[in-house]
Amino acid sequence: MAEKEMTELKKGAPLLVVDHLTKRFADLTVLDGISLTVHEGEVIVIVGPSGCGKSTLLRCLNALEDIQGGEILLHGERISQNNKNLTELRQRVGMVFQSYELFPHLNVLDNILLAPTRVQKRKREEVKEEAMALLARIGLESKAESFPRQLSGGQKQRVAIIRALCMHPEVMLFDEVTAALDPEMVREVLDVILELANQGKTMLIVTHEMQFARAIADRVIFLNEGGICEEGPPEEFFDHPKTERAKQFLQTFTFSRKRS
């Protein structure tokens, strides 16, 4: 407990508070009273077996799912599908999806510029400058005029990250962003996320890349059957998991063969 308070002390003020969040699909309870506080500048990695509700949790944080109980507060303002202010709140929460979801009829630059210019009504020139600088940072400035179909999966995902960043969100959600990528493209995407962490961006990351989780996380949350089963600093979670379920889960990532 003392340790947990320490990690929280290192970080800034609470940014996102999840309080007894419950999500049901018909009779199936996917999230069962989850409580979680995300502090400014904190990087939280959510891991767990498939079907444990990781992705659903992230989707709830952006009100892409309606919730059946509890509440989600972003700086004290309630995120829910009934909130009239929802589009404004969503601008403050950036999300990157597993399947990139760039808009296929728009080129890279227009994909990035659409929301800042149409939703936030910022000047196109100003956003373009920012977008080009970010594209240059990830080595894709030459692709600004390309269409999504002309890019590799890794390139698409990096563009999707920049598209979300250009809205200047207070927190970024990454939903298994490397799960659909070829192994050699995973790295280039994870490097971008690592750089964001170094810049102090607040992030919630759902991933199956355990090495990456360990490197980037301030706090690891292990989700199982719709509840938080275990949470703690990455070293503690990966080296000395407390619960049997977490041990079992981590074992699925290690391989060994009996040799005579």
Partner 1 sequence: MPDLGLNVLFKGKNLARLLGGLGVALKISLLSVVISIVLGIVVGLLMTWKNPISRALMRCYLEIVRIMPQMVLLFLVYFGTTRIFGWNLSGETSSVIVFSFWGAAEMGDLVRGALISIPRHQYESAAALGLSGGQTYRYIVLPQTVRRLIPLSMNLITRMIKTTSLVLMIGVVEVLKVSQQIIEANRMSSPNAAFGVYLTVFALYFFACWPISLLAGFLEKRWR
Residue numbers of the site for partner 1 (CB under 8 A)?
A: 62, 64, 87-88, 90-91, 93-95, 97, 99, 101-105, 114-115, 118-120, 149, 160, 163-164, 167
The interaxial angle of helices 124-137 and 153-165, nearest 10 deg, is 140
CA atoms within a 13 Å half-sphere pointing along the CA-CB vector of 32:
12
Residue closer to partner 1, measured from CB, 174 or 222? 174
- Cα(42)–Cα(56) distance, rounded to whole angstroms? 20
Nearest distance from C-beta of residue 258 to partner 1, angstroms: 44
For residue 243, the Cα-to-chain-centroid distance in whole angstroms is: 25
Nearest distance from C-beta of residue 173 to partner 1, angstroms: 8
Q: How far, CA to CA in Å, does 166 sit from each of 130, 147, 160, 180, 196?
A: 8, 18, 10, 23, 13
Residue closer to partner 1, measured from CB, 6 or 119? 119
Residue closer to partner 1, measured from CB, 114 or 132? 114
- Cα(37)–Cα(94) distance, rounded to whole angstroms? 17
Nearest distance from C-beta of residue 255 to partner 1, angstroms: 33
Residue closer to partner 1, measured from CB, 203 or 220? 203
- Hey, what are 237's tokens? 């979670």
DSSP state of 245: H
Q: Evaluate whether 112 touches 131 at the Cβ level (below 8 Å).
A: yes
Nearest distance from C-beta of residue 21 to partner 1, angstroms: 18
Residue closer to partner 1, measured from CB, 64 or 179? 64
Nearest distance from C-beta of residue 115 to partner 1, angstroms: 4
Task: Name the residue among 59, 76, 65 with its Cα closest to residue 14.
Answer: 76
Nearest distance from C-beta of residue 130 to partner 1, angstroms: 15
Residue closer to partner 1, measured from CB, 7 or 98? 98
Task: Name the residue among 177, 100, 178, 109 with its Cα closest to residue 147.
Answer: 109
